[in-house]
Amino acid sequence: MAKDTLKPDTNPKKKKLSSKSSKAHAEDIMDTKVKKKRRKVEVEEAPVQTPQVTVTADGKKQKKEKKRKKTQMTEETQKTMQMEISDPPRRPEGTHELEGEEDLSPEEKRVLERKMKKILKKEEKKRLKAEGETLKKTEASGPTAPQQALDYLTCWAENRTEWKFQKTRQTWLLQHMFDSEKIPDEKFSVLLEYLEGLCGGARDTTVQKAKALVEESGQAPEDRDVQQRAHRAREVIQLLS
């Protein structure tokens, strides 16, 4: 049996072609690398094109104004900081040192003081708002009770056809009839005429109150207000007894 033997490739043309193809392949690779390097260098060396911005006179003016405001705000901030350092804020009235506040740093205390001031300011606004609303309601409610009682008495004296009996107004007059500040002298003379028609329990109660004021005047002879009330009480006793 014949032995298989490997015959060497003795074809010179084939070797020559293979060497040429490998050489051409190597040259292609080198060309590709060179092209990539050139592109990279061109990109790096290419000048950066910045968009041209046309600055108008208004734009310059706005920039100057912004710069001026920024400088002004910076100066004011520095002044404020210097004032806070030289003259630390005092604790608002009505506040007291909180538990653990002594362990705070000066800056933390200043922050806490500002918060307390804001809280107190809000509370003050609420209080003033509530007082304003109460005052408006009082003004909108119309005449006060003293004025209504005096108008009731005047209507009885001057316009009897329009007058109507109102127990609330009569009660107020009987309770304050001895006070010259609430019922002036000219109105008291009209009230005496009104009391002539008083009857029943209201008449008896008024007489008893007048007698008590006369007795009180004996214990305070130098008190002008007491003596003035006693003088009116004597007139009422004389009228109704």
Residue 37: the pLDDT is: 67
How confident is the model at residue 1, as a pLDDT?
Answer: 46
Give residue 10's pLDDT: 52
pLDDT of 115: 85
Percentage of the chain beyond pLDDT 90 is 27
What mean pLDDT is predicted for residues 9-25?
53
Q: Which of 3-12, 128-137, 143-152 has the lowest mean pLDDT?
A: 3-12
Transcribe 187-219 into DSSP letters: HHHHHHHHHTT--HHHHHHHHHHHHHHHHHHHH
Per-residue model confidence (pLDDT) at position 20: 54
CA distance 37 to 186: 118
Give the integer Cα–Cα distance in Å for 112 and 10: 101
Q: What is the mean pLDDT of the chain?
A: 74
Quote the pLDDT of residue 17.
46
For the chain, the distance separating the N- and C-terminal CA atoms, rounded to the nearest angstrom, is 174
Q: Is the pLDDT of residue 90 over 60?
A: no
* Predicted local distance difference test score (pLDDT) of residue 14: 47
Distance CA(237)–CA(47), nearest Å, equals: 117
CA distances for 29 relative to 25, 38, 226, angstroms: 6, 14, 128
Between 143 and 128, residue with greater pLDDT: 128
Q: Is the distance from CB of 203 to CB of 173 less than 8 angstroms?
A: no
Q: Are 206 and 198 in contact (CB under 8 A)?
A: yes
* 136: number of Cβ within 10 Å: 10
| 167 vs 52: which has the higher pLDDT | 167
CA 209 vs CA 23, 103, 184, 213: distances in Å:
140, 66, 19, 6
Query: Given this model, what pLDDT does residue 51 score?
Result: 47
**Distance between CA 126 and CA 168 in Å, rounded?**
35
pLDDT band at residue 16, thresholds of 50, 70 and 90? very low
The pLDDT, as a whole number, for residue 138 is 56
* 57 confidence band (pLDDT: 50, 70, 90): low
Among 222, 148, 216, residue whose Cα is nearest residue 178: 216
Q: Alpha carbon 48 to chain centroid distance?
A: 55
Does position 84 have pLDDT exceeding 80, yes or no?
no
Taking only the tens place, the pLDDT of each residue in 183-210 is 999 999 999 999 988 888 889 999 999 9
pLDDT band at 65; cut points 50, 70, 90 = confident
State pLDDT tens for residues 150-170. 999 999 999 999 999 999 999
User: Does the pLDDT at position 129 exceed 70?
Assistant: yes
Q: Phi and psi for 164 in degrees, rounded to 5?
A: -130, 140
